[in-house]
Structure formats: structure tokens, C-alpha cells
Structure 1
Amino acid sequence: MGESTGIAKGILGFPVAPFTENGRLDEQALFENIRFLVEEGLDAIYIACGSGEFQSLDKAEYEVMLETANEAVAGKVPIYTGVGGNLRTAVELAAISEEKGAAGYLLLPPYLIHGEQEGLYRYASEIFESAPNLDAILYQRDNAIYSVETVRQLTAYPQFKGVKDGIGNMELNICLTHEFKGRLDFLNGMPMAEVTMPAYLPLGITTYSSAISNYIPHISRMYYKALLAGDQETLDELYTDVILPINSIRKQRKGYAVSLIKAGMEIIGLQTRGYVRPPVTPVTKEHYKELEQILGRALEKYPRKEKISKIKES
């Protein structure tokens, strides 16, 4: 099967799609938010994916998001896109990604249908073939869970470089990492990935997508360094003070994987608002206040070297 040249590793940034009150994409806010992530040292930018409300973007907005990401990143880190949905749309978005110079794409689930493994193989292979110059990463999630045998078949495509896990099936993860070590890279894509990273580390999985990096990237980096160093004392403190309290809110309502990120960004003063597109709903006032208190205490105990703004007045 050969050796993979690899994909970006470390803490991966998944920017949101900031919207104005009337529902338009806020390009300036997007630029500022992505530039913030790059300046804070995130290792790659994944644009127009789940946290970027992929399902609610039209083609023109998708292109604008990728163009804005290119401008904000300025070649400092690789950019990956979200590609998925119905097959024809996915092929079209892969072509746009290639045209605009993305390093690769995250293959999101197909729309609605729960296909057999043969169908998932054909779905992925047709998209792989449509953009042979882009690195492809499978996303194990929802109605797209690829078996070991299907992944084995797909490794015939040299552009297939990685698997992102969003389901938490550790038996499957063990089988995949054991068989494809050296051929594929693996990413933890579970919601609030910091919660589960200690379970992934023994499998050699050191790369993950971080929701909280959108608003407290210095704490995400502190967590990552402690994880790799085996600093359990620091990990325990971060779990108690920040990670588990935020995760507790995230689990309260569907859609908070997106809207809670926007609330956190708004609370610390980043260029965004809490506006989301249906079917995602905004964070309730009660949960917003709770998150505000968590972040206030967290930034007091773990201040960033240069504060971008003060926590809003309660």
C-alpha cells in the first residue's frame, strides 16, 4: 500500500461560519476569526465543515469561505475543506477545493441515506477519483461508518491519507490503527475531543479537532502539551475548571456543537455573533450565562499572554 506522506497533525482548527443578523455570511468576521486561530498556533484550518455549518451553505458562500481562509492563512498552515452531501454536490465541492488550492478535504457523510458498505465505497471512490491531487480524509460519523474492509479497499487510492473518528468505536479504532499504521493518519473528531483524547493517545492518535480552540486556544494548547507530557496534574485541573464544565453544557441541547462555539467566541469578544442557521438553534440565555461564568473563571486562572478583549460585563 505504500507510505502516506501524511496530513497536518496537532490541534486542528474548525472555524465557524459567522452570520449577520439578517443571515448573511460575515466575511470580515470570518477573516478575523481564522487569522486569530493561525496566530494562536493551530496546525491546520478546516473550512466549511461541521462547525462551519456546511449543511447550510450554498455554493457561492462555500467559495467565499475558502477564498477568505486562503487570504487569512496566507500560506502559514494547510487548509482543508468539507466535502460531502449528495454525490454530485460533493464532486463539485472537491473540484472547487482543488481549484482554490486546498491541501485536501474531509469527506463528510452523504445526505440522509444509510448505505451498505459497497455504497459507501462507491461514494468515497467516485469523489476520490474526481480530485486526485487533493488529500482525502474519511470522516467516520452518523450514516457513514466505513468498515476495515472498506477502508482497505480505499487505500488503493494514494490520495486517501487519513481517517477522522467521530463515533468513538474503540474496537474499530484499534483494528484500523493496527492494520493501517504508517499508511493512514488518524484524527480524533469526537465532540469536545479533549474529553476523550486520553483514550486515543495509546493508539498513537495525537491529532484532534478542538472546538474550544475557537475561543480559548491557549487553554487547548496547554491541555495538548500536558497530554503529550503525561502531566496528569495539569490535565486534572483543566478537566475540572474548563473542559468538563463546557462539555456538560454542550450535551444539553442538539446543535450546541456549533452554537456553543459561537457563544464562546462572542463572550470573549471575537468578531462573531451567535447567529446560526436552522435547524441549529442559538444557545439559551441560561446556558450562555453559565458559559460566560466558566470562561471568566478560566481566563482569570489561565490568562492568555495577550488578551484580545475583556469578558463582557455580566
Structure 2
Amino acid sequence: MTANIGSRTAPGGILGFPVAPMDRDGRLDVNAFEHNVRFLVTEGLEAIFVACGSGEFHALSPQDYRSMVETALSVAGGKVPVYTGVGGNISQALELARISAELGAEGYLILPPYLIDAEQEGLYRYLSAIIGSTDLNAVVYQRDNCVLTLHTLERLLALPQLVGLKDGLGNMDLNIELTQTIGGRLSWLNGMPMAEVTMPAYVNLGFKAYSSAISNYIPHISRLFYNALLSGDEALLGELYRHVILPINAIRRQRKGYAVALIKAGMQIVGHPVGTEVRPPLIPVEEEHYRKLELIIKEAFERFPKPAAAPKEGSARI
């Protein structure tokens, strides 16, 4: 599932954001990362975004970053597009954009600038410098200290590399203004924490793509949810919310940083070899919360068994 932006194609559907497994020395466990990416590709996710928030972008070494991009591209093998995370200070962002282009990524997600709470003109200069630095597709991540007005986003539209905006802010007044003014010129991605919670409010605004954290361990639930949403199956949506989505989200909200740590915990529960350690300042999931997640995942498989081949009806509808 994709959106055509002129001659460019933007990612659509359910987007996979793999984690960054660690070895005993705190470096990237390449084998475990490869397993994570292969699982997402095999499960039919429409695009892979590496070294972003779930991939602990904040703490990766340059060597680990390059390894993640190389590995993801090798595993994906052109079956699905691979996007990278770039951001932080402008020098770092431009260097990571260059590496992404060098290695052959399809595009990158631009994360907020380091620390600075900037004026709109400053955000425009930051984003336009990164977007214009390569010919790769660019998606801007709207969140934290990178919140664009309509005027600023319209200025950035002069750059054909800009194909999408991912919203992690949740300001629906602003989302309506942006989507209804700009329309199909951009692909709109829901990037809220555990985006399944808010996706019903987003889909009617034109947000046809979303990042699914739970797809790292229960991707059939992500697909079941999205197909039910697109087909208007309110009964199934209600069951998924009551028994899986809202209970997991309740745990995620217990501690700062669980948006990342809880993914690794879920992956370990279902048998993926990624471990539960996260890089500081994040903290791993506490034992009580881990056990609660175990029970939710167990119930998810019992109530909603994984089919032999997960259908992708949602892809055909957009």
C-alpha cells in the first residue's frame, strides 16, 4: 500500500519499526536485528523504518547505525522500502542522510532537532537543509519541539523530496487544517504512541499509514485491527480494544520510555531473540508489568488465533 506523490511513492499501510537489540557490550546485536527485520518483512508490513524511535536512535553509535541500515536493506531485498531515522543536531542529521543515500535507502524520517525549541523559520531551515541534501524521499516527524504551522509546511512543499508527514503530536485541530488544505500532496502517517489507540480518529482525515509497535510481536493483531477499521467492523474493533490494545497501552503509560522497552519485552515473550535491555536513559520493563503483558499476549493468541497466512485486505482498500 503506497501513496503516489508526483513521480515519487510514499509509504502507506502498516509500517514496521524494528528495535535495536544489544549484545553484552551494549553494541548492536546484528543477528537479532536481522531476525527482527526479517520477521516484519515476512509478516507483510508495507515498509521498514530503522534507527528511529523504537530503534533507540538517541543512543546509537555511527557504526551501529550503518550496520542497521545495511542489514535492513539486505534483508528487505527490495521487497519493501527501507527508511532510516535522521535528526538531532544539523551536522549529524546531514551526515546520516548522506549515509542513507550512500547505502541505498528509499528515504528517511526526520526526527526533531536536538534540544532547541525553535522558531518556525528555524525549523524551516533545519528541515529544508536535510530534505534538500539528498534525492531520497523525506518524511517529517511532527512532535515535541518540531511542530510546524500550515505556512511552514506549505513552504517545504516546494521540495519534491518531501513525501509525507508523520504526526506524533495529536493536535487534531492542526491535523485537520494540514490535511484538508494540503490533501494528497503528502502521505499522512499516524505516529502517536501505540497508534492503534488513535487510528480511528486519524483515518478519516486521510492518515492511511501508521507505525505499529505491536507488529514486532503480534503483527497479526495489527493486520486484524487495520482491516476491521477499514471495513467498519465495529464489533471486532471493540473486542481488539478491550482485550489487547487498551490493556497493552495501559502498561505502556506506566513508565516513561516504555514505548520502546515494552516492545522488546513483548518480543521476548513470543520468543524473538532481542533481549529486554534498553540503552540509557531508557529503563527496561519492570517484572510486574512484564507478567501483565505476558497474560495479555496469551489472551490475544487465544481469542484471535494467528491465521496460516495473515490476509492483507487493508492494502487493497487504499
Q: TM-score by structure 1 length?
A: 0.95
Q: Does 1:83 align with 2:86?
A: yes
| C-alpha distance after superposition, 1:64-110 (max 9, x if no partner) | 00011011111110000000000000000000000111110000000
Counterpart in 1 of 2:140? 138
Q: Quote the offset at 1:305 in angstroms.
A: 3.4
Distance 1:22 1:88 in 2: 27
Distance 1:278 1:238 in 2: 33
SS of equivalent to 2:11 = coil
Distance 2:89 2:171 in 1: 25
CA contact (8 A) 1:20 1:275 kept: no
Q: Does 1:99 align with 2:97?
A: no
CA contact (8 A) 1:4 1:183 kept: no
SS of equivalent to 2:130 = helix
CA contact (8 A) 1:21 1:275 kept: no
Distance 1:95 1:127 in 2: 9
CA contact (8 A) 1:35 1:72 kept: yes
Q: CA RMSD in A?
A: 1.2
Q: Quote the offset at 1:306 in angstroms.
A: 5.5
CA contact (8 A) 1:6 1:185 kept: no
- Decide which of 31, 55, 80 is 1:28's aligned counterpart: 31
Alignment map for 1:283-302 (pairs within 5 Å): 283-302=285-304
In the alignment, residue 147 of structure 1 is paired with which amino acid? T
Q: Does 1:42 align with 2:45?
A: yes
Alignment map for 1:141-156 (pairs within 5 Å): 141-156=143-158
CA contact (8 A) 1:13 1:46 kept: yes
Q: Quote the offset at 1:4 in angstroms.
A: 6.5
Counterpart in 1 of 2:312? none
Counterpart in 2 of 1:252? 254
Q: Can you give the 5+ residue segments of structure 1 that lack an aligned partner in the other structure?
A: 308-314
**Structure 2 CA distance for partners of 1:21 and 1:251, relative to 1, 3 Å:** same
Distance 2:130 2:98 in 1: 9
SS of equivalent to 1:182 = helix
Counterpart in 2 of 1:169? 171
CA contact (8 A) 2:27 2:64 kept: no
* Number of residue pairs the alignment of both structures matches: 305
* Identical amino acids, percent of aligned pairs: 60
Alignment map for 1:237-248 (pairs within 5 Å): 237-248=239-250
Distance 1:114 1:21 in 2: 36
In the alignment, residue 41 of structure 1 is paired with which amino acid? G
Distance 1:201 1:64 in 2: 34
SS of equivalent to 2:238 = helix
Alignment map for 1:299-310 (pairs within 5 Å): 299-305=301-307
Q: Quote the offset at 1:249 in angstroms.
A: 0.2
Bigger share in strand: 2
In the alignment, residue 268 of structure 1 is paired with which amino acid? V
- Decide which of 65, 73, 77 is 2:76's aligned counterpart: 73
In the alignment, residue 14 of structure 1 is paired with which amino acid? F
Alignment map for 1:205-216 (pairs within 5 Å): 205-216=207-218
CA contact (8 A) 1:106 1:138 kept: yes
Counterpart in 2 of 1:203? 205
In the alignment, residue 175 of structure 1 is paired with which amino acid? E
| C-alpha distance after superposition, 1:159-218 (max 9, x if no partner) | 111100001000111011011112111000000000000101111212100000010000
CA contact (8 A) 2:132 2:161 kept: no
Counterpart in 2 of 1:310? none
Q: Can you give the 5+ residue segments of structure 2 that lack an aligned partner in the other structure?
A: 310-318
Counterpart in 2 of 1:5? 8
Counterpart in 1 of 2:313? none
Distance 1:129 1:237 in 2: 45
CA contact (8 A) 1:4 1:184 kept: no
In the alignment, residue 122 of structure 1 is paired with which amino acid? R
In the alignment, residue 34 of structure 1 is paired with which amino acid? V
Q: Quote the offset at 1:5 in angstroms.
A: 3.1
Alignment map for 1:222-233 (pairs within 5 Å): 222-233=224-235
